Amino acid sequence: MKIHGNRFLVSTNGCQRRSLDADKLIRYILANQGRVTNNPKLADCIFFISCGFDSRNQKDSATAIELFHGINTKVFVLGCLPSINPSLIRKDLIQIPTKDIGQLDNHFSDLIVKWDDVEDSKHLWTASLPQRLNTSNPIQKLSLIQKETFPYIINRLRNTIKGHIRVSWGCVSNCSYCGIRLAIGQLKSKPLEKVVGEYVELLKSGIRKFVILGDNAGAYGIDINSNFAALLQSLDEASDGKKVKWLVRELHPIWVVKYEKELKQMIKQGRISSLHIPVQSGSEKILKLMHRPLKIDDFKEILYSFRRENPKIRFETHIIVGFPQESDDDFQKTVDLIKDINFYRVDVFKYTDVNGTEASKMAGKIPELVIEKRAAILEQLSQRK
């Protein structure tokens, strides 16, 4: 198939990292002289970037994919679902998991720019992007996005827009419930100079709020003889005295403990204004079963110390409710953690088995009605603000 002259639709129900992939995919299409449409009936090819985090998101992905059924066009299913639950995808559709997204190059015969040669996205995909890229010179569309369109949007929304800095792909953890690591692969850190270069570029464009993220952001650098502390220091130095705010996402609690000193310094300086820490449970027993061991009292004291440096700092988290063997006492410990820390946002996920994971084979599954009840309590608690 050729890209040149054909119309492509890009859609996703995935997380922020997959939204960055969607934005890069649009620029990949435009750089190769393709066109982008929001109408599936006009599309010569559809790219759907799926989510496979849990059974609910898998079903949502499958439902979205079926919306394209009956349309006479080629459909690619990307994202995490192809690795986690490919049985939900019709066999006539082309499946490429997140870790292998570069294989897109193999499906097009007229490439000018390959996937790996397209710069990583610095902002999340939005459906309105095609309307913002009306140019009669398609060969220059990639340059347009990087040099004209994006700064234009920044100038209009300077006080509200955020720049996204993806520092790595993949994960080093082995969480017993997680199938996502099957889709995203091993840790691959972006070179430090590349991260800093993207950061400086956005600074020059007027961006002052940054989302620093990765599939496992705190693991940054392990594979390239660097570390998360060096990343924070380098970004701080590159800020050149400018008043910036960082929102750090997907920071596993183990990295909060390991880099407590460096994080506290950045919070004290006003750099870090928000930390997204997916703690998953307030019970040490459950965390051990999840392969996420943590001393809850020590963890809480670290967060208290961060808040003493900046009382306005926001903590966000993920909680999985109904994990196998979660007793009433285990659940109460999670409730206590949420109350004690006063998280700004709590995303509650009801535990479901993911094929191939250790947790799916564990004894002590919690009845669905109990999970529903516990989830309702946490959701009410998280909305008390």
Residue spans of the domains in the chain: they are: 7-141, 162-382
- Given a cut of 90, whether residue 78 has pLDDT beyond it is yes
Q: According to the model, what pLDDT value does residue 198 have? A: 97
Q: What is the reported pLDDT for 148?
A: 36
pLDDT for 182 equals 86
Residues 300-317, mean pLDDT to the nearest whole number: 98
Read off the pLDDT band of 2 (50, 70, 90).
very high
- Per-residue confidence (pLDDT) for residue 385, from 0 to 100: 54
pLDDT of residue 152 exceeding 80 = no
> What value does the mean pLDDT of the chain take?
90
Contacts 24+ apart (CB under 8 A), 167-171: 167/195, 167/212, 167/213, 167/214, 167/217, 167/220, 167/231, 168/214, 168/215, 168/216, 168/217, 168/219, 168/220, 169/17, 169/98, 169/99, 169/214, 169/215, 170/99, 170/215, 170/216, 171/215, 171/216, 171/219
Cβ within 8 Å of residue 213, ≥6 positions away: 16, 17, 164, 165, 166, 167, 248, 249, 250
Give the whole-angstrom CA distance, residue 217 versus residue 168: 7
Residue 157 pLDDT class (50, 70, 90 cuts): very low
pLDDT > 50? residue 153: no
Instruction: Give the confidence band of 384 by pLDDT, cuts at 50, 70, 90.
Output: low
Q: Does 162-382 match 7-141 at the fold level?
A: no
**Domain 7-141 is found in CATH 3.40.50.12160:** yes
Range of weakest confidence among 60-74, 189-203, 301-315: 60-74
pLDDT greater at residue 130 or residue 295:
295
**Cα(58)–Cα(52) distance, rounded to whole angstroms?**
5
pLDDT 10s digits, 259-290: 999 999 999 999 999 999 999 999 999 999 99
pLDDT, residue 140, reads: 40
Model confidence at 137, pLDDT cuts 50, 70, 90, reads very low
Task: Report the top-level CATH class of 162-382.
Answer: alpha beta
pLDDT over 80 at 136, yes or no: no
**Phi/psi class of residue 306: alpha, beta or left (left: φ > 0; alpha: ψ in -120 to 50)?**
alpha
Q: Which of 60, 67, 21 is nearest to 43 (CA)?
A: 67
CA–CA distance, 123 with 100 (Å, rounded to integer): 22
Residue 343: pLDDT over 50: yes
Q: Which pLDDT score, from 0 to 100, does residue 56 have?
A: 87
- pLDDT grade for 139, boundaries at 50, 70 and 90: very low
Q: Assign 146 a pLDDT band (cuts: 50, 70, 90).
A: very low
Give which of 99, 250, 223, 78 is closest to 164, Cα–Cα. Answer: 250
**Statement: residue 87 has pLDDT above 80:** yes
Residue 355 confidence class, pLDDT cut points 50, 70, 90: confident
Burial class (CB in 10 A: 0-12, 13-18, 19+), 231: buried
Please report the pLDDT score of residue 29 as a whole number: 96
Residue 262 phi/psi, 5-degree rounding, is: -70, -40
Residue range 70-91: average pLDDT? 94
- What Å distances lie between residue 376 and 97, 230, 371, CA to CA? 33, 41, 9
201: number of Cβ within 10 Å: 16
- Look at residue 126 in the predicted model and tell me its pLDDT: 65
380/385 Cα distance (integer angstroms): 10
CA proximity to 28, closest of 96, 124, 120? 120
